[in-house]
Amino acid sequence: MKFPANLHSTLETRDAAPKPRKLARRIGLFDATMVVMGGIVGSGIFINAYVVARRVHTPVLILGAWVAGGLLAMLGAFIYAELADRMPAVGGQYAYLREAYHPVLGFLYGWVLLLVIQTGGMAAVTITFARYLLELSGTEISERVIAVVTLAVLTIINCLGVKLGSRVQSGLMLLRIAAIAALVVAGFLFLRAPHPVTHPVLDHTFSSGLLTSFGAAMIPVLFAYGGWQTANFIAGEIKQPRISLPRALIIGVAGVIALYVTVNMVYLRALGAAELANTTAPATAAMRLIWDGRGATLIAAGIAASTVGFLSQSVLTAPRVYFAMANDGLFFRSVGSVNARTQVPVIAIILQSIWTAVVALSGRYEQILNYVVSMDFLFFGLTATCLFVFRRRERILSPPESASSNNPGYRVPGHPITTIIFVLASWLVVANTIYQYPANSLLGMLILVLGLPVYFIWHRKARSRSQA
């Protein structure tokens, strides 16, 4: 039987790596669902809805963009649910790319995750949290001091054990849900003279320009829906991952769609499409109309809780990728170590937090964020294509007559059509981002390419260790 050509190199890399250390499976379905939602819901839903309203100008089109983005996120959740069922391994996307194609693709994902995607976003959110905390407390402490202290506290919590880290993350996610629910309830029950949200449908005749505008509106929407995939990073620490992780992905994404669509309905009811486009803080503006100053204070507290909750989720999940890389011999060996008492990758967690603090203190996070969208969606699409590879291998290795007797596990509804739609949509986002922000996007691509020589250095070291 002929195996894929890259399988030998994959096994060779694994043999060269140090023996993997195991993580403890202590996360249940509820906490896994909160991790999914926590990876998506940050401060953006409270602030950035105005960007969508500036690109499409009617309530129906604005809500349509959020619904369309939610449906695409659900397609992604379906795909990652099957990938999680097929390979409930620590590292998520890193592991899928490594096994489907070649270890170099997995490494490049982990490389840009550490340098760009995860830490750039975390740095921006850390500074946002510091600013809202200062606004609420009225203190004169430097926002950079608050940022570093916040990262240090969350790092310590997650180093004390995955169960404690996931419980803290779940509690913060519940606070975020409560803040959004308060905004939604207030908007539907206490708002006087609301604006219509069902008309008009279009502000001018249908044209190619309208499609272009709608596509541009989808970029901030898809960015706001991103993050559900990070739950797959911790598959190695979820109880019954083949059952719990697919369920958590679908339930979590469905919950976020409901939150996002209803909160945007409140923005439109309170402000109208035109005013929504003119304010850079729609949640604060809407709550000020409903509850005056008290509403603005409440939503500021909600944004602060949302940002620190996102940080907590990021500290919990992404270090598992670097841990998996180290266990494959493609990163510092110490990063693949597990604390004997807490059974978590302490060095990997600390490494990410230190780099996040460096980026935050340097003030370069806003520029790094410009690279995030193109890098993130490039790997979204590439990871989704892994499904075609795994299914093909399954057909080759498993006789058709025996397939029905085995438990097929979770399967993506509508595959391959739905998977192709997700891949094309992801790469259209990348193409559109490169078109609109060529300098920033190409710099992100340069960082990606620079990972190639780094990979070969680590790979050579791993082979040398195996031959010693």
Domains for the chain: give ranges and CATH numbers: 26-201+214-397+413-461 (1.20.1740.10)
Residue 376 token pair: 């993130």
Residue 453 Cα distances to 320, 414, 457, angstroms? 23, 39, 6
- The predicted pLDDT at position 400 comes to 56
- The predicted pLDDT at position 266 comes to 94
Q: Which of 282, 292, 327 is nearest to 458 (CA)?
A: 327
Counting as low any pLDDT under 70, the low residues of the chain are: 1-21, 203-205, 207, 364-370, 399-408, 468
* Burial of residue 8, with CB atoms counted within 10 A of its CB: 0-12 exposed, 13-18 middle, 19 or more buried: exposed
Q: Which of 422, 394, 385 is nearest to 228 (CA)?
A: 422
Cis peptide before 282 (omega within 30 of 0): no
Residue 185 token pair: 């309830």
- The predicted pLDDT at position 399 comes to 61
- The predicted pLDDT at position 365 comes to 66
176 contacts: CB under 8 Å, gap ≥ 6: 37, 38, 41, 302, 305, 306, 309
Torsion of CA 187, 40, 23, 115, to 10 degrees: -140
Q: Which of 73, 102, 179 is nearest to 425 (CA)?
A: 73
What is the SS3 assignment for 193?
coil
| DSSP code at position 336 | G
| DSSP code at position 115 | I
- The predicted pLDDT at position 369 comes to 65
Farthest CA pair distance, the chain: 77
- The predicted pLDDT at position 301 comes to 86
Dihedral sign (CA 26, 30, 35, 38): negative
pLDDT tens digits, one per residue of 191-212: 877 888 887 777 666 767 788 8
The label of the residue with tokens 């598959």 reads 235
Residue 246 Cα distances to 155, 260, 412, 413, angstroms? 27, 21, 10, 13
- The predicted pLDDT at position 214 comes to 87
Spatial separation of the C-alpha atoms in residues 226 and 77, rounded to whole Å: 10
Q: What percent of the chain has pLDDT over 70?
A: 91
Spatial separation of the C-alpha atoms in residues 57 and 273, rounded to whole Å: 6
Spatial separation of the C-alpha atoms in residues 114 and 292, rounded to whole Å: 42
Is residue 248 within 8 Å of 173, Cβ to Cβ? no
Spatial separation of the C-alpha atoms in residues 382 and 96, rounded to whole Å: 10
Following DSSP, what letter does each residue of 80-109 receive, concatenated?
HHHHHHH---TTTHHHHHHHHT-HHHHHHH
Q: Where are the alpha helices (DSSP H) in 328-416?
A: 346-362, 365-397, 400-403
Residue 441 token pair: 């996007």
Number of Cβ within 10 Å of residue 71's Cβ equals 14
Is residue 298 within 8 Å of 65, Cβ to Cβ? no
Spatial separation of the C-alpha atoms in residues 373 and 221, rounded to whole Å: 11
- The predicted pLDDT at position 367 comes to 65
- The predicted pLDDT at position 465 comes to 78
pLDDT tens digits, one per residue of 318-356: 999 999 999 999 999 999 999 989 899 999 999 999 999
User: Residue 201 phi/psi, 5° resolution?
Assistant: -80, -50
- The predicted pLDDT at position 407 comes to 58
- The predicted pLDDT at position 356 comes to 94
Cis peptide before 103 (omega within 30 of 0): no
